[in-house]
Amino acid sequence: MDWQGQKIAEQLMQIMLIVFAVVAFSVGYVMGSFQMMIQIYAGGVVLTTLVTVPNWPWFNRYFLQWLDPSEAEKHPKPQIQPVNSKKKSVKK
Amino acid sequence: MHSFGYRANALLTFAVTILALICAMASLSDNFNSPSPSSQIQILNINWFQKQPHGNDEISLTMNITADLQSLFTWNTKQVFVFVAAEYETLKNSLNQVSLWDAIIPTKEHAKFWVQTANKYRFVDQGSNLRGKEFNLTLHWHVMPKTGKMFVDKLVMSGFRLPEEYR
């Protein structure tokens, strides 16, 4: 999944779960059936899992151009300078 | 949301949190229910009234218990536990409560009932104070929810009196 896809997946997951919770509670309350509320919500959780968790292709539309390996060699990572073991005097 | 496991975990915890939320809302919705239960208890017969070897009074009675507890049931009710207690005052205790009969009502349809029974549990006093005693019969109920808060209430029926002499 690309970065944009991750954001979409997260938002979609949150929205879907909240919507299913609202629908489940409303239907359960109106119908007077606790079981119905739980069933609708459980179905919603399963559906949300199927839609947002696996790495579907539609989450991968913003294809990022990773740097080519040969190009990376031309620009080596900067080396960390060794730490000076002598204590530096504080200048006033 | 970097990997399968990460997303699955995030989804699962969020789903469970929201489940807790809707269950809390379901329990809160029980407060909108204004129940109107009714009940009558008749004492048909005092079967016997004896003093036990240890000095405690014991009595056996047959009662007619009718009740309509249908209005207690909501969508969030698992069952209603109901019991009848005899309540009276003695010199030793300001309140004695002796449970005589109980039942579990599983559904709304079962909540309107008529029962004729001897006391399920023994009516024994702490001492021998029951002769000529005036007492109340109280119907207590516990509305047990599927999720959330349990509601407890009672209905007091007074005006009962035990016989003056042992039989």
Task: Give yes or no for residue A86 having a pLDDT over 70.
Answer: no
DSSP state letters, A36-78? HHHHHHHHHHHHHHHHHSS--GGGG-S---PPPHHHHHHSPPP
In this predicted structure, what is the pLDDT of residue A92?
A: 53
Percentage of the residues of chain B whose pLDDT score is greater than 70:
99
Among A65-69, B18-22, B98-102, name the one with the lowest average pLDDT: A65-69
Distance CA B46, CA B61 (A): 4
A34 to chain B, any CB pair closer than 8 A? The answer is yes
**In chain A, what residues touch B143 (CB-CB under 8 Å)?**
none
pLDDT of A66 strictly over 80 = no
Neighbour-count burial of A57, counting CB atoms closer than 10 A to its CB (0-12 exposed, 13-18 middle, 19+ buried): exposed
Q: CB A17 to CB B18 under 8 A? A: yes
Q: What is the mean pLDDT of residues B87-92?
A: 92
pLDDT tens across B107-150, in order? 999 999 999 999 999 999 998 888 889 999 999 999 999 999 99
CA distances from B103 to A83, B30, B113, B138, B143 (A): 81, 22, 11, 14, 12
pLDDT in tens, B104-119: 999 999 999 999 999 9
Q: pLDDT (tens digit, 9 = 90+) per residue, A2-46?
A: 777 888 889 999 999 999 999 999 999 999 899 999 999 999 999
pLDDT at A5: 80
pTM confidence score: 0.80
H helices of B51-165, in order, are: none
Give the model's confidence band at A76: pLDDT under 50 very low, under 70 low, under 90 confident, else very high: confident
Residues in chain A: 92
Of A6, A45, A49, the CB nearest to B2: A6
- Do B75 and A34 make contact, defined as CB atoms within 8 angstroms? yes
What residues does B165 pair with on adjacent strands?
none
Q: What mean pLDDT is reported for chain B? A: 92
